Structure 1
Amino acid sequence: MANILVVDDELGIRDLLSEILNDEGHQVDLAENASQARAARALARPDLVLLDIWMPDTDGVTLLKEWSSTGLLTMPVIMMSGHATIDTAVEATKIGAMAFLEKPITLQKLLKAVEQGLARTLARPPIPLKTAVPMADFVPEAIMAGGILAVSPDRGLQATQSFMLEKPLRDARDEFEKAYFEFHLAKEGGSMTRVAEKTGLERTHLYRKLKQLGVDLTRGKRGL
């Protein structure tokens, strides 16, 4: 099962693609514009994105460029459009899109493109079974936040977190995200406003994500 983000301003397209992909066993997140796509990309870290080109606020090619220039284009992106020219499709491919689907999208072409995109994700070089992720920020005193040992710089130590990666991708991702948010909650004294600002998420999206991950929202306020 993969986590797939569908970005399209047409409700009918979103519902149709969601139904098809859910039937294939995938988890599907939906966004109707670039703003929602940015939030969903930050929250769910999708394994693949189906991205419409023509959208009212920011078009899909511009959003693709944004992700590429900021290092967020870490997943395969399949562009979709019913009116795009060949030049637009070529431009998107040069930026980093892996494929282009012309609307109306046939079931066979959709599933084939998704299969190829997810195969590319799985074909990435393997990561060592155990790795340490350096944390750039420190808290005033040594704390333990979701398995992250964070200490002040004057102690001459760097905050690290070890993750066991020999597990399903979604489980490993949830483990990291839970530790990440617990770290920032502890650092900010449990303030949802400051954590939202620090992580770049809206409060409503942040709260929903924390509940989904099972994060204890009081541990930062208890001082651990």
Structure 2
Amino acid sequence: MAPDDPSKSIGIDMLPPEINADTPVSGNMAGKMEIMGLPLRDAREIFEREYLMTQVTRFGGNISKTAKFIGMERSALHRKLKSLGMRNEEKQ
């Protein structure tokens, strides 16, 4: 993309789905405010569950790739998912 050529600018339709989400910003803010009113343990559990669900989905259910991306051992990620009550079926 050349800075002096406006016809080569990036459009919203060119963004990846995780950035170009249909979720309104106000909805995200409401969720963040709800978490702020919880004890740390509860807030952390909600965050971890949502974060891990997003990452596992991002890698198509592949636990090995997810673990590598988030910086955990695969076995530790399996234990974490189990402790959070999340099913994990690794896709080969």
Scaled by the length of structure 1, what TM-score is found? 0.27
Alpha-carbon shift at residue 204 of structure 1 (Å): 1.0
| AA matched with 1:204 | S
Note the residue ranges of structure 2 that are not aligned, 5 or more in a row. 1-15
User: What is the distance in 2 between the residues matched to 1:214 and 1:194?
Assistant: 20
Secondary structure at 1:215's aligned position in 2?
A: coil
User: Is the contact between residue 78 and residue 88 of structure 2 (CA under 8 Å) also seen in structure 1?
Assistant: no
Residues 159 and 179 of structure 1, relative CA distance in 2, 3 Å threshold: farther
Please state which structure has a larger fraction of its residues in strand: 1
1:90-114 deviation per Cα after TM superposition (whole angstroms, max 9, x unaligned): xxxxxxxxxxxxxxxxxxxxxxxxx
Give the root-mean-square deviation of aligned CA atoms: 2.8
The structure showing larger relative contact order (alpha-carbon pairs under 8 Å, at least 6 residues apart) is 2
Report the counterpart of residue 77 of structure 2 in structure 1: 206
Displacement of 1:173: 0.4
The normalised TM-score by structure 2 is: 0.62
Q: Is 1:185 matched up with 2:56?
A: yes
Superposition pairs for residues 18-97 of structure 1, below 5 Å?
none
Shift of 1:216: 2.6
Give the deviation of 1:169 after TM superposition.
0.9
Partner Cα separation in structure 2 for residue 171 and residue 195 of structure 1: 23
**Structure number with higher helix proportion:** 2
In structure 1, the partner of 2:42 is 171
| Distance in 1, Cα, partners of 2:85 & 2:22 | 29
Based on CA coordinates, which of the two structures has the bigger radius of gyration?
Answer: 1
Distance change >3 Å, CA 178–CA 159, structure 1 → 2 = farther
Gaps of 5+ in 1: 1-139, 141-150
The size of the alignment, in residue pairs, is 70
Q: What is the DSSP-based 3-state SS (H/G/I as helix, E as strand, rest coil) of the residue aligned with 1:190? A: coil
Shift of 1:179: 0.3
Amino acid at match of 2:66: V
Query: C-alpha offsets along residues 125-168 of structure 1, whole Å, 9 cap, x if unaligned?
Result: xxxxxxxxxxxxxxx6xxxxxxxxxx344x48789743312111
Looking at structure 1, the residues matched to 24 and 71 of structure 2 have their Cα atoms a distance apart, in angstroms, of 21
- Partners of 2:83 and 2:57 lie apart in 1 by 18
Give the letter aligned to residue 46 of structure 2.
Answer: E
Percent identity over paired residues: 34
1:58-110, CA deviations, whole angstroms, 9 ceiling, x for partnerless residues?
xxxxxxxxxxxxxxxxxxxxxxxxxxxxxxxxxxxxxxxxxxxxxxxxxxxxx
What are the within-5 Å matches in structure 2 for residues 71-220 of structure 1? 151-153=17-19, 155=20, 161=28, 162-163=31-32, 164=34, 165-218=36-89
